Amino acid sequence: MNLEISSLLTAYRNHTRTPREVISTLQIAIEKAPSTIWISKSTQQQLESYLKNLEGKSPDDLPLYGIPFAIKDNIDCKGFKSTAACPAYAYTPQKSAFVVNRLIELGAIPMGKTNMDQFATGLVGVRSPYGTIPNKFAPEYISGGSSSGSAAALAYHLCSFSLGTDTAGSGRVPAAFNHLVGVKPTRGILSANGVIPACKSLDCVSIFALNHHDARTLLNLATKEDFDDAYSRCAPWNLPNGKAERLNENWTFGVPEESELNFFGNDSYKKAFEKTVKAFENAGGKKVVIHFTPFLEAARLLYEGPWVFERYAAVGKFIEEHPSEIYPVTKEIICPKKTPHPSSVFDGFHALQEKKKIADLEFSKVDVLLTPTAGTIYKTEEVLKNPIQLNSNLGYYTNYMNLLDYSALAIPAGFVNLNDEKKSRIPFGVTLVGRAFDDFKLLDVADKVKSYLMQDENDCDEKIQIAVCGAHLKGEPLHFQLQNAEFICATKTASEYKMFAFEDKGIKKPALIYAKSLGENEKGNSFYVEIYAMTANDFSKFIQQISSPLSIGKLKLENGENILGFVGDTQILDSAQFKNALDISEFGDWRKFKK
């Protein structure tokens, strides 16, 4: 079952699935998956209440109609206990967190509360009395933390998206280790009202998604100012006539100097990052080498500066009163043995401001930064033996982000073969870093580079998506060529194209052409397309069957996403096959023209 949001909504609209069927299927899958993913699961009674709320409604009324999701257990959801992975701390909230309530109102269905590093302290996912979650791709390795359960719930296909939190990387490291998209939004644009704080001034609610499109949808829906949250901020795109910052056509990306990159002895990750940088260049980005030292120096303040005591302000007294309920390493981090002079708090603020000024200057050289999400990955037994240092290593590229008020997007970048006894094959991910409120610009970059990051068919779930608009549609004569492809959804292109019909070997075929390329005054239309996903191997075979003058290029969808599809250029209009081609742009749908 395809759990991507667009796929489920299409299935609901076409009445090929119902939310009740989807939820029932997932309940079975949840029972078969590692039990350590969950701290509490939705009861049948709870699920029935959510399903009842959908009665008489449809995806046209609710943008997340019947979409299942998971919630990290430091985020409140009415009807569930919140534990932050500490049973003694558990309480039952009177209402759901602001973000959770908003998603439920939009039609989403909570499947339960997920496991995490205790009090969201850690990037490893092994600091929980509820157990450790095996990595889906290599069970002896960690799933990452602290949002380990939320990432694993998605990786094990138990929901369509999940919520985590991210103070120092907890929404990005698990995304990288689980082959997911991880949104670390600009601080404050997703309300943290109803979240058990780690560092209240830095905490972010994060989103794990299956693809860029879902991430874009969820970020857009979940972003709303909350006047009951002192740290909530209004995103520019939520203002009257406001809009999100978007990517320039001639875009640049920064990478740290080679001496500042650290892969902690993992040569496979090093090579994967080098390959990713080349993919970004192939996608049209211009690489700029930047100095990463000020970012790293800012990061050290998170655990060596006054922000440690902000963690203490959140749960320190509870920990001191319940020492037997707390993981020793968690207590060591949150309750330092030495208390510095109060003036050191201001020393920390001043030092951070100095680092930010230098870091912002480096950032001014580029549109976005590109780094590995993590420099390596560890086995569970390795982390248990050396919990502090290995956790610190995993935060090398993440700890500075919220201190410097940046946005981030973690994206999959293929898989690597590790040099261990089992020759484990594990996901590799990179992070795009933007300034505050650059969240949608980062998604624009992700869209541009996606097809260049595709790996071969052995890369597990990663597939190439293509939009078809004519003879390859369902019920049309060439649809058989997509027999090995997976139907994703039906949608429309942006209103920027014209469609021409020509005949090739007795079969009528369409070509989409960018309207403005035919003349400045030419007006385009939006066209019905179906999106399919296939392995790289099947994609290679498929495009070999495409005859001239058609070709595969980038199409812009109505939601702004760019995807591969059938295109032509103005030169093909002079070809023999197009001599008698018909302009059928007015139809907006190939099937209407055929009728």
Q: In DSSP terms, which residues pair with 371 in a beta bridge?
A: 431
The enclosing H or E element of 352 equals: helix 343-363
Question: What is the C-alpha separation between 84 and 81, in angstroms, rounded?
Answer: 10
Q: Which of 235, 189, 175, 248 is nearest to 444 (CA)?
A: 248
The enclosing H or E element of 189 equals: none
Question: What is the C-alpha separation between 84 and 270, in angstroms, rounded?
Answer: 34
The distance between the two most distant Cα atoms of the chain, rounded to a whole number of Å, is 84
Pairing between β-strand 109-114 and β-strand 38-41 as defined by DSSP bridges: antiparallel
Active site residue 259: no
Question: What is the C-alpha separation between 324 and 319, in angstroms, rounded?
Answer: 9
Question: What is the C-alpha separation between 394 and 429, in angstroms, rounded?
Answer: 13
**Choice among 6, 7, 72, 96 that is catalytic:** 72
**Choice among 6, 82, 128, 146 that is catalytic:** 146
**Choice among 7, 170, 232, 268 that is catalytic:** 170
Q: Contact at 8 Å (CB) between 182 and 206?
A: yes
- Quickly tell me which residue has 């919220």 as its tokens: 402
Please tell me whether residue 285 adopts helix, strand or coil conformation: coil
Active site residue 146: yes
- Tokens (6 digits) for 255: 């990478």
Active site residue 24: no
559-563, long-range: CB < 8 A, 24+ apart: 559/213, 559/216, 559/217, 559/491, 560/216, 560/444, 560/494, 561/212, 561/213, 561/216, 561/447, 562/447, 562/448, 563/465, 563/466, 563/467, 563/531
Q: At what angle do helices 44-52 and 19-32 cross, to 10 degrees?
A: 160
Q: Contact at 8 Å (CB) between 468 and 565?
A: yes
| Residues known to be catalytic | 72, 146, 170
